[in-house]
């Protein structure tokens, strides 16, 4: 599993606690941006319909549905402008 902030590998075994942080950059680990249900195009930016709304997707939260995003899944924290520019290279 990769940290949404620094993209370095973090221990993804089990479910992280709300207070756990990335050992490399110190970013919170249990955040929407690290969750497999996070989707910017979904209602409340979450594909889990029973999850409560989380306003700040980059801060630790109490969501009970959190599951680490698999390494093959897209990282939503990537700069959208960079993606657009890459299209025209």
d(CA 43, CA 78) in angstroms, rounded, equals 20
**The pTM is what?**
0.73
Span 61-78, average pLDDT: 74
DSSP secondary structure string for all residues of 3-57: -TTT--B---SS---TT-B-TTT--BSSSGGGBTTB-TTSGGGBS-TTSPP-S-T
| Domain boundaries, position 31 | 1-89
Beta-ladder partners of 21: 28
Mean pLDDT of the chain, nearest integer: 85
Domain count for the chain: 1
Higher pLDDT, 53 or 15: 53
């Amino acid at each position: 599993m990769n940290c949404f902030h620094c993209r370095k590998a973090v221990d993804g075994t089990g479910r992280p606690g709300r207070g756990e942080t990335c050992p490399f950059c110190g970013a919170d680990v249990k955040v929407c941006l690290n969750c497999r249900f996070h989707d910017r195009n979904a209602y409340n930016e979450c594909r889990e319909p029973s999850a409560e709304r989380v306003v700040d997707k980059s801060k630790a939260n109490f969501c009970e549905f959190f599951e680490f995003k698999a390494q093959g899944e897209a990282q939503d924290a990537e700069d959208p402008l960079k993606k657009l520019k890459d299209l025209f290279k």
